[in-house]
A and B are shown apart, each in its own frame.
Chain A
């Protein structure tokens, strides 16, 4: 008589973060489920890009554009589309305009904000349509939680999606054994972005969610800002006028004490973080495996983490670079 070992059920999740408007990264994220055989897709915060790139029509089919600090002259529709694709893949928003309109923007900078939102929403609509189509075929759940760089209007757009779920502030059941709480909010930054809060406020936000979990100890904490002094939060030290000290070599911890406290208190199985693009890494805080896969969205490379969870432990994980 032999005792047969029962294979425990597992859940494999793919996590990426900080795609910052890069369409190629978004598409890779959606396709990652099939590529890595993941059961769930989770995207951390900061989905939106940081800059519009004006493509200025000169005359006829001739355009000029300053991209990556270089002047380009673009001629013809095909070259124009190619340039727009390049800009889009790098996470920026191409905007075809005229010298007169540029002049108007310079005289009325507030108009740029409206244009920015319009372009961000347009791109996100395209992304969600792409995801809805692909995810319907795959039958894979996909959760996103906008980050501190994302303005609030995008939440409504995500809520309207059929297959992409807005996870921010929610307790999501990933499997019969694992729940996930998500927050895209961060502690204060020098840039005064959209979703920032003091540490006490962050802690309160976290606690509101964790209180609703059945078993935080087998859960996943998907928080945009990493725990303070975890190595996952090391960013280049900046001078007062935002210049990196020592050519960017000097790193300082900028993570959240609130995040650290809830990880230490509740000891979930897994902590998923982002926010600090250069702090790619893995560390354990107590029994909690904490991961920041980092971000290289400008190069169109999707950095991610593939994690397999058993009911009561992290079975295995690996950082990816797709």
Chain B
């Protein structure tokens, strides 16, 4: 009977515009996979965790388990309100327009200004310095990695690259991302293979040889890095530690794995239960596979570099980069695992190809920083909460140039503050995660309340059938993920163990976040009052039209 009904369902659909086949889960997976980017975000933040007492691998696995509930929450919200502008619309509809506007523009627009210098920092560490070092341009390589001007120029290049992506549009970016996906996987497999087949001795010899030749490293580099790392207080274990320190490490780990939902609202139509599952599996698949790859990567690093060396090398570098010492470590660059692995192949061309292939992790991912922001800016402009001009597109290139300028100009200002560490700006790295986590918390609360605040919408959706002990699945998942976010926010803001540096005790952090939220609120209230005076019923644009 079921088979008969299924064929009947197909029979009763007529040819009409927009009836298409299901979208590919693999394509959605690629975007999610790049969003929880193991090489850029992952290696960057892992390297900064050297002083923590919580073991890294359990922290990755536990956080992954919690973030799976995020995948359920977002797949559920998308199933109920697809293609709607994401967090902005979910929150305006369920929690109210003011909350929706403030949380969406801070999380999807303003805070991405701070992500630009972080992307720039990763670009110089993973691309410019290794490539220039391999090509023999030692001076330029060290200028990029060791000077504020190098970081600033790298951030300017981020803005240029991403502006080109925005100009090319989503279609071309999707093509670039797909190609980058395969190149980056080849690069990673080669790196993992090098780590697998080589020994600690081989690594030590190659490190001494290449670090000296490429970057002018002095003395016994391996031993020197161990000593410098010890002085920096590098202690993080890899596999085991008491449970509480593991949980204390999670607010760092989520810097890289909290984002499997980043592109979810961009995917195709959600027509039924299979599309809900497709959304969930693409996000959850990317998250879980990334966690598995991270574990394999770290275990192989421990096997070939030794975990002790890796943690201490990271400690030695960041201790210098953050200005706790004026003396550069013996290896005077960020200890990029892909470059260290490439050292074990004594051939410049092969080394270059490995680093270039690994840079596809950055080039395939970097468009994420502005592409979603322009959508939020457009949505706010259509709601008349921003001037009409911000949604202008160039008639020839179709580039949303005003929205782009609203991203680029503040980003360059923040990048300068970050590069020259004005007011301790370099301590604010985790603010970039915190502000988006607040936005996600807003959407998570919206998801928890959805079946009760908008029952007609919920019951007409493909997720209405999914319950746990009679409670809607989206509510259950929302409560678990919401509790996880509250836990993270508590640690970040109150920082009882002084581990994160962005809490209420950090004046720069308080000023930055206060400024961003105040700016959003001011724009909302200002434009709301202005539009109401113009006669535009702003208070009604998200309200449900009553049916009599």
Which A residues are closer than 8 A to B by beta carbons?
Answer: 20, 24, 27-28, 31-32, 35-37, 46, 50-54, 56, 64-66, 68-72, 86, 89-90, 95, 99, 102-103, 105-106, 109, 112-113, 116, 134, 148-149, 186, 189, 191-193, 229, 231, 235-238, 241-252, 275, 277-278, 280-283, 296, 298-302, 306, 308, 315-322
Q: B272 contacts the other chain (Cβ, under 8 Å)?
A: yes
Question: Looking at chain B, what size class is its interface with the partner chain?
Answer: 35 or more
Rounded to whole angstroms, the CA-CA distance of A86 and B89 in the bound complex is 23
Main secondary structure of the interface of A (DSSP, over half): mixed
Q: Does B295 count as interface, using CB distance less than 8 angstroms?
A: no
Interface string of B253-285 (1 = CB under 8 A from A): 000000000010011110111110000001000
Instruction: Judge whether A299 and B460 touch: CB under 8 Å.
Output: yes
List residues of B (491-548) whose CB comes within 8 Å of A's CBs.
531, 534-538, 540-548
Top 8 A-B pairs ranked by shortest CB distance?
A: A248-B268, A69-B272, A322-B545, A246-B174, A247-B27, A250-B171, A247-B28, A52-B12
Residues of A within 8 A of B24 (CB): 243-244, 246-247
B388: A residues at CB distance < 8 A: 282
Most buried by A among B11, B80, B531: B11
A99 touches B1 (CB 8 A): yes
Contacts of A229 in B (CB 8 A): 398
B124 within 8 A of A: no
Contact A318 B541 (CB under 8 A): yes
In this assembly, does B15 line the interface, its C-beta being within 8 Å of a C-beta of chain A? yes
Q: Does B20 lie within 8 Å of A282, measured CB to CB?
A: no
Q: Are A300 and B15 in contact (CB under 8 A)?
A: no
Tell me if A251 and B83 are in contact (CB < 8 A): no
Q: Are B171 and A193 in contact (CB under 8 A)?
A: no
Residues of B within 8 A of A243 (CB): 20-24
What are 19 A-B pairs with beta-carbon distances under 8 A?
A24-B456, A28-B545, A35-B540, A36-B537, A64-B5, A105-B8, A106-B7, A116-B12, A191-B19, A229-B398, A237-B171, A246-B24, A246-B170, A248-B269, A250-B170, A250-B175, A251-B171, A306-B536, A316-B536
In the docked arrangement, what's the CA distance between A113 and B12, Å?
A: 9
Contact status of A321 and B541, CB under 8 A, knowing A148-B17, A149-B16: yes
Within B311-354, the residues touching A (CB, 8 Å) are none
Binary A-proximity of B82-102 (CB < 8 A = 1, otherwise 0): 111000010001000000000
Contact A192 B15, beta carbon cutoff 8 Å: yes
Contacts of A186 in B (CB 8 A): 17
Partner pick for A277 among B18, B263, B378, B540, CB 8 A cutoff: B18
Q: Which residue of B lies closest to A186 (CB)?
A: B17
Report Cα–Cα, A66/B25, bound state, in Å. Answer: 23
A68-B4 contact in complex given A28-B547, A322-B544, C-beta closer than 8 Å? no
Bound-state CA distance A32–B537 (Å) is 13
Contact A54 B8 (CB under 8 A): yes
A246 B545 Cβ-Cβ under 8 A: no
A contact residues around B456 at 8 Å (CB): 24, 89, 300
How far, in angstroms, from A242 to B21 measured CA to CA in the complex? 6
Would B15 and A193 count as touching, CB distance under 8 A? yes
Q: Given the complex, which residues of B lie within 8 Å of A37, measured CB to CB?
A: 537
Question: Any chain A CB within 8 A of the CB of B356?
Answer: no
Other A-B pairs beyond A35-B543, A35-B546, A282-B388, 7, CB < 8 Å: A64-B5, A70-B462, A89-B460, A191-B15, A249-B174, A299-B80, A299-B84
Asked whether any CB of chain A lies closer than 8 Å to the CB of B393, the reply is yes
Q: Which residue of B lies closest to A82 (CB)?
A: B459
Q: Does B46 contact A (CB under 8 A)?
A: no
Give Cα A148 to B16, complex, Å. 9
Contact of A69 with B457 in the complex, beta carbons under 8 Å: no
Chain B residues whose CB sits within 8 angstroms of the CB of A251 once the complex forms: 169-171
Q: Tell whether, in the assembled complex, residue B81 and residue A249 are in contact, meaning their CB atoms are under 8 Å apart.
A: no
A244 lies within 8 A of B20 (CB): yes
The reply to whether A68 and B273 form a contact with Cβ atoms under 8 Å apart is yes
A residues near B16, Cβ cutoff 8 Å: 20, 50, 149, 191, 193
Complex Cα gap A37–B391 (Å):
27
B531–A321 CB distance below 8 A: no
Whether B6 sits at the interface, judged by CB under 8 Å, is yes
Most chain A beta carbons < 10 A, residue from B16, B93, B263, B531: B16
User: Smallest distance from the beta carbon of A297 to chain B beta carbons, Å?
Assistant: 11
Q: B440: CB under 8 A from chain A?
A: no
Q: Which residues of A contact B223 (CB under 8 A)?
A: none
**Would B382 and A249 count as touching, CB distance under 8 A?**
no
Q: In the bound complex, do residue A53 and residue B12 qualify as a contact, i.e. CB atoms below 8 Å apart?
A: yes
Among A31, A56, A321, A322, chain B packs the most CB atoms within 10 A around the CB of: A321
Q: Judge if B461 is at the interface, Cβ distance under 8 Å.
A: yes
A112→B11 contact, CB < 8 A: yes
With a cutoff of 8 Å between Cβ atoms, the chain B residues found around residue A231 in the complex are 393, 398
Complexed CA–CA distance, A278 and B266 (Å): 10
- CB pair B547–A51 under 8 Å, yes or no, is no
Assembled-state Cα–Cα distance A35/B546 (Å): 8
Q: Are A35 and B545 in contact (CB under 8 A)?
A: yes
Which of B19, B383, B457 meets A50, CB within 8 Å?
B19
Cβ contacts under 8 Å, B391 to chain A: 281-283
Is the C-beta of B471 less than 8 angstroms from some C-beta in chain A? no
- Could you say which of B6, B12, B542 contacts A51, with CB atoms under 8 Å apart? B12
Minimal beta-carbon separation of A175 from chain B (angstroms)? 17
Residues in A neighbouring B27, C-beta threshold 8 A? 245-247, 249
The residue in B169, B378, B547 that gathers the most chain A C-beta atoms within 10 A of its C-beta is: B547
Contact of B17 among A193, A248, A315 (CB under 8 A): A193
Q: Cβ of A69 and Cβ of B462 under 8 Å apart? A: yes
In angstroms, Cα B83 to Cα A109, docked, is: 33
The answer to whether B547 touches A27, judged by C-beta atoms less than 8 angstroms apart, is yes
Contact with A along B61-92 (1 / 0, CB 8 A): 00000000000000000001111100001000
> CB-CB < 8 A to B197: which residues of A?
none
Q: Is B465 an interface residue (CB 8 A)?
A: yes
Which residue of A is nearest B545, CB measured? A322
Q: How far is the CA of A254 from the CA of B11 in the complex (A)?
A: 28
B171 contact set on A, CB distance < 8 A: 237, 245-246, 249-252
Partner of B174, one of A56, A64, A192, A250: A250
- Cβ of B469 within 8 Å of any chain A Cβ, yes or no, is no
